[in-house]
Structure 1
């Protein structure tokens, strides 16, 4: 098929490379400009470099709705637009320039977890599964009819990084399967149930700060959701910011005031909120001055409270 590709970073390069290796004709690649925002570079890979290696014409832009770009796409007479980690709204008028319209790959089981950082939100919310969805690009973001989905389990100790590594290969395989189905005329789209849709915003520092009044389960999930290289979940202790890189529910039933630090036979424990057992076993921490270190090494005194 003749495909105009829109993509960015690691998800984009994986998808584009799969399409190229499968022999599809890609006369134009559109990507976002390089970003100085650390959040945009957690899984850095260059769609632009890949297009250059294949000698494919390239456009870099933040938004792809400009008349000049539309005219260029129309002149190419594409069969399909494929989006993979394209981060801004694409007008239906652009998708209408392709015979089959546009499809997008999203790392969640739509209609739930539309929007931003779906893996991190799913882990933080204690979900037991997520996945990757291929859907039609329509006017409302992440609400287009679904073509393909594949489920990925989330195990109790999985981190967001584990789930990223587990979902990433699906971008390539599902993109190829979707394009093949459209080419062969076997594609069947299913409308999303908008009443079941959830849409999440970008995560920032507020979403990473630990609230010790929450139950152990919720705080453990937050720490898993912010695993390296994502910015870590954090709190303050003795006046300094402390990142929590690894933790697990304590093996025994500790109770008391949320935020209280205890040194126990099990290790360094912080008390969380009710209901149920309140102990969270802190395994690995980091400060601005010191990279990852065992919690026992940092907490020499074993007294005091987290803020």
Structure 2
């Protein structure tokens, strides 16, 4: 089939590479301009560079809503648009223009985790699996019929970085498998159960600020979800920002006030956690490695030279 590809960052790059390696023909690529947003500088392989290396025409747009783009799409005479990590709304006159419409590739197990940063949110929420879904685009965000979907299990120590590398490898088989089904003439696919749909926003600095009222189990996943190269989860100690690079749930249960720097346990320093920490029924969060405001990384047992005091959400 003749394919127009809409995409950005490494997700779009992997999708374009899969298309270029397939029997389908890429006739036009549309991508976003480079961004200085913290999360958009991560996994930032260039879709434009890859397209140009293979002689594929490239258009750069923030939004696909101008007449020049519409005319170029009509001239491309595509059988289908394939989109992955396109960051703005695609209007119906665009996604419905090709003969087979638009196939969107999304890195979650839809209908859950529609929207942005699905891997990070899924890890924070303790999901047992994540994956990639290829669905037909309609007017609702990430809501169209599912053509193909594949999942991987989430392990007890997996970071968001681990899950990225494993799910990005699913892009090629999911995308090309879905295209092959469509090219074969299949038209009936799996409707999404909208009662199970969840929608998530882009990550921002506020989303990585540690709230010691959270249970230790949730905080441990938050820290794994903010693994390098993502911005690390942070707190404040004695008025200075302190990034928490690694932590585990404590073996013992600790009572008191959330955020209290309490006790050395194993290779970590336990911080009291949970809104009901006063009951003494909660595990704490044993921080094992930190980064200070001046960029020094060191074991928590070296950073916390004495117990007592509090970690706080604000200076």
Smaller-chain TM-score bracket: over 0.9
Deviations 1:187-234 (A, max 9, x none): 541111222111111121221111112211111121112111111111
The residue correspondences of 1:118-137 to structure 2 (distance < 5 A) are: 118-137=118-137
- 3-state SS of 1:250 partner: strand
Cα displacement (A) at 1:290: 2.2
- 3-state SS of 2:170 partner: helix
- 3-state SS of 2:134 partner: strand
Cα displacement (A) at 1:111: 0.8
| Equivalent of 1:281 in 274, 278, 286 | 286
Is residue 261–residue 309 contact of structure 2 (8 Å, CA) maintained in 1? yes
Deviations 1:229-288 (A, max 9, x none): 111111101110011110111122232221111242423111112463332111111122
- 5+ residue gaps in structure 2? none
Deviations 1:22-65 (A, max 9, x none): 13211110000111222211111000100110011100001112
Deviations 1:126-181 (A, max 9, x none): 11112111011111111111111111211222111111111001111111101111
Structure-2 residue corresponding to 1:271: 272
Deviating more after overlay: 131-140 vs 295-304 = 295-304
Task: Tell me if 1:294 matches 2:299.
Answer: yes
Distance 1:264 1:188, change over 3 A: same
Q: How many residues align?
A: 307
The residue correspondences of 1:74-223 to structure 2 (distance < 5 A) are: 74-186=74-186, 188-223=188-223
Is residue 250–residue 265 contact of structure 2 (8 Å, CA) maintained in 1? no
- Residues of 2 paired with 1:123 and 1:291: CA distance? 27
Is residue 10–residue 44 contact of structure 1 (8 Å, CA) maintained in 2? yes
Is residue 2–residue 79 contact of structure 2 (8 Å, CA) maintained in 1? yes
- Residues of 2 paired with 1:212 and 1:156: CA distance? 21
Is residue 3–residue 81 contact of structure 1 (8 Å, CA) maintained in 2? yes
- Residues of 2 paired with 1:286 and 1:188: CA distance? 52
Is residue 147–residue 187 contact of structure 1 (8 Å, CA) maintained in 2? no
- 3-state SS of 1:235 partner: strand
Cα displacement (A) at 1:186: 3.4
Normalising by structure 1, report the TM-score: 0.96
How much is the aligned-residue C-alpha RMSD, in angstroms?
A: 1.4
Normalising by structure 2, report the TM-score: 0.94
Structure-1 residue corresponding to 2:29: 29
- 5+ residue gaps in structure 1? none
Deviating more after overlay: 259-268 vs 195-204 = 259-268
